[in-house]
Structure 1
Amino acid sequence: MQLAEFNKAHRADAAAVLRPCIDIQRWVDQIADSRPFSSRGELLGLARYAAAPFTAEEVRAALAHHPRIGERPSASTAEASMSRSEQAGVDPADAAVAGALAQGNRAYEDKFGRVFLIRAAGRTAPEILAALRERLASTPEQEDVIVAQQLREIALLRLEGVISE
């Protein structure tokens, strides 16, 4: 969608464009209500500002929509499509990496009580696996900060992908 079109869209339509980027109502509302934007840079700057910080409850809610790394969603939603694209570097046919990711995902969920979240876009499966193993050594408090940062990165990358100048 072009920025000019986004600026002129009905509020509900603008929110529908934003929600697949990250389903955090406050973030969606703040951006939709701040239109019009004079540039894509202004939009992204506001999106970055609105995402810092996400509350613990917002993070929990957003994580409910994220699949495990290595498990691509099959739904036909915009969010599922974005997730499949972001995980393109994870080849499900690579049994060794898929098995290691599955094992790491289980260990992470056992320790932290949520799915492992990482901005997968631009990362290879070995890089994701290394980050997963490294983050298993984090404390819950450290991991809360990392997860919120990863959510911000995902939201901004997705927004960059859906709004053009």
Structure 2
Amino acid sequence: MSIDELNDYGRVQFVEKLGAVLEHSPWVAESAWELGPFVSKEDLHEKMMRIVRLSPAKRILKLFRAHPDLAARLVAGEYSSREQRDAGLDRLEPAEVEAFMSMNRTYTDKFGFPFIMAVRGKTKDEMLSAMGMRIEQDPETEWQEALAQIDRIAGFRLDDLIDESCVEERADRHA
């Protein structure tokens, strides 16, 4: 869809299209709809992330906790399932699954939410390494890192959903 099509949607249709961009948190899309129209995919992304960052800590924590553990065999959102599958996390050896599960437990016990990482383009070794390094961070630093990862994830998902080539073509015709 184009940003123009998205701008033409009513609230319900807008939330249907974008409600899953931030894991099980359609409230972000609902709030973003009120900030439209959007001039670009980047404008939409920035406004969605501003909504998240300005939310109360309890609401952000709920967003964090909506994310699945990496390599978990539990039901995850459509985007997360695909992203983890594309990263090969559905094809791990038993010892690798145990390593991820152990790191997930350690991380969640320390921070109170699952390890969040934009896995697109990452290998399983890079993910495990990042988990190991991030477990050592202090809670405030890791909170900010989790937000940064959600920002990256949302950017990837919006890139997949919104085609801005038609905006460029329209601009070229009017130039």
Superposition TM-score tier, normalisation by shorter sequence: 0.7 to 0.9
Contact 2:19 2:30 in 1 (8 A): no
Unaligned regions of 5+ residues in structure 1, if any? none
Deviates more, 1:46-55 or 1:33-42: 46-55
Relative to structure 1, is the Cα distance of residues 141 and 24 closer, same or farther in structure 2, using a 3 angstrom cutoff? farther
Deviation at 1:105, TM superposition (A): 0.7
Relative to structure 1, is the Cα distance of residues 97 and 54 closer, same or farther in structure 2, using a 3 angstrom cutoff? farther
1:44 aligned partner, one-letter code: H
Query: What is the aligned partner in structure 1 of residue 8 from structure 2?
Result: 8
Structure with the larger RCO, 1 or 2 (CA within 8 Å, 6+ apart):
1
Query: What is the aligned partner in structure 2 of residue 117 from structure 1?
Result: 116
Query: What is the aligned partner in structure 1 of residue 17 from structure 2?
Result: 17
Query: What is the aligned partner in structure 2 of residue 59 from structure 1?
Result: 60
Contact 1:105 1:116 in 2 (8 A): yes
Question: Is residue 46 from structure 1 mapped to residue 44 from structure 2 by the alignment?
Answer: no
Contact 1:24 1:62 in 2 (8 A): no
The structure with the larger Rg is: 2
CA distance in 2, matches of 1:35, 1:44: 12
CA distance in 2, matches of 1:11, 1:110: 38
Using the aligned pairs only, state the percent identity: 28
Q: How many residues align?
A: 160
What is the TM-score with the length of structure 2 in the denominator? 0.79
Query: What is the aligned partner in structure 2 of residue 82 from structure 1?
Result: 79
CA distance in 2, matches of 1:97, 1:157: 26
Determine helix, strand or coil for the equivalent of 1:34. coil
Unaligned regions of 5+ residues in structure 2, if any? 165-175
1:10 aligned partner, one-letter code: G
Deviation at 1:83, TM superposition (A): 0.4
Determine helix, strand or coil for the equivalent of 1:158. helix
2:149 aligned partner, one-letter code: Q
Query: What is the aligned partner in structure 1 of residue 147 from structure 2?
Result: 148
CA distance in 1, matches of 2:19, 2:43: 19
Deviation at 1:164, TM superposition (A): 1.9
Contact 2:64 2:146 in 1 (8 A): no
Deviation at 1:66, TM superposition (A): 1.2
